[in-house]
Amino acid sequence: MEKGIIFDRKEFAVFDGPGIRQTVFLKGCPLRCSWCHNPEGLCMQPQLMVSHASCTHCGRCAAVCTHEKCVACGACVPVCPLGLRKIAGEFLTSGELARRILADAGYYSRYGGITFSGGEPLMQADFLAEVLEMLPGLHKAVETSGYCEPDVFRRIVGLLDYVIMDIKLFDGEKHRRYTGADNRRILENAEYLCGGRKPFLIRIPVIPGVNDDEENFRSTAAFLAGAEALERVEFLPYHQTAGAKYGMLGLEYRPDFDADAGIRICRSVFSEYGIPTEVL
């Protein structure tokens, strides 16, 4: 049985696919988007998170720590009287995760389903595939960057009912600059969805000065035009609170763009191509 690592489970999610959903967040992502607001989803190891702002410096956490450098052992988590410390990341087998999901499955099978998000859930494709196969009768979706080998993408899509995928930037050079990776595989995987029958939704995180120009919207709309299984395009406006969790991980948030600038969302470009849109 495959082992995987998750960092959260969210109940009653209403923006992660059709109906009301349970969302499971898998840890690990091959991209490094400048605007990422879930930095605890990036690496595939457990990490200590601390809400420093409310710390009273009582010293209880330091008193129980036996390590020079944090190894995310979790020993200091229960001793904090204010509950300011937590470990993001839990290893478990596919069977254990499926059992937890199935414990609440009655509600979600009636009103929505289960969505796997991240991080990048397809980075743990073997683990994810085993979990998906253990959830018969549940509506299953992923939220993915689409950054993976096409055969991996097709295998996982074949086990799903619905796909939510990002197309962050159409221009390959800009994509590499702002996410750390080329977008060729992403566009190849998006093309597969466009040519198929699996219902899917495209999301565009709209980042000031990065991808909020008409050329980017127009290229993306032209690429998606005519895709029969495409439900709509959703825009996710950039929020200035995106950097909030970096400090909890001991990291600095240094976005490579003007995070204070306003954004432009050209919904009209997509309507020219007959594609419905929504701003979240």
Nearer to ligand SF4, 84 or 201 (CB): 84
Nearer to ligand SF4, 43 or 102 (CB): 43
Nearer to ligand SF4, 59 or 136 (CB): 59
**Residues sharing a CB contact under 8 Å with residue 32, sequence separation 6 or more, in sequence order:** 42, 179, 180, 181
Nearer to ligand SF4, 58 or 222 (CB): 58
Cα–Cα distance measured from residue 98 to residue 171, given in angstroms and rounded to the nearest whole number: 38
Nearer to ligand SF4, 43 or 72 (CB): 72
Nearer to ligand SF4, 209 or 247 (CB): 247
CB of 82 to ligand SF4, least distance (A): 5
CB of 99 to ligand SF4, least distance (A): 27
Nearest to 214 by CA among 151, 140, 265, 145: 265
CB of 78 to ligand SF4, least distance (A): 10
CB of 69 to ligand SF4, least distance (A): 8
Local structure of 130: helix, strand or coil: helix
Q: How far is it between the farthest Cα atoms of the chain?
A: 63
Nearest to 95 by CA among 83, 84, 103: 103
At 45, list the tokens: 């190891």
CB of 244 to ligand SF4, least distance (A): 17
CB of 58 to ligand SF4, least distance (A): 4
Nearer to ligand SF4, 65 or 92 (CB): 65
Report the b/e string of 47-82 with b at 16+ CB within 10 A. bbbbeeeeeeeeeebeeeeeeeeeeeeeebbeebee
In order, the DSSP letters of 252-269 are: ----SS-TTS-----HHH
Cα–Cα distance measured from residue 102 to residue 114, given in angstroms and rounded to the nearest whole number: 10
**Residues sharing a CB contact under 8 Å with residue 107, sequence separation 6 or more, in sequence order:** 20
CB of 265 to ligand SF4, least distance (A): 40
Find residue 235's DSSP bridge partners. 204, 279
Nearer to ligand SF4, 61 or 169 (CB): 61
Binding site for ligand SF4 (CB under 6 A): 48, 50, 55-61, 64-65, 67, 70-76, 79-80, 82, 84-85
**Amino acid present at 7:** F
CB of 87 to ligand SF4, least distance (A): 7
Which stretches does DSSP call E strand in 14-139? 20-26, 47-50, 85-88, 90-93, 112-117
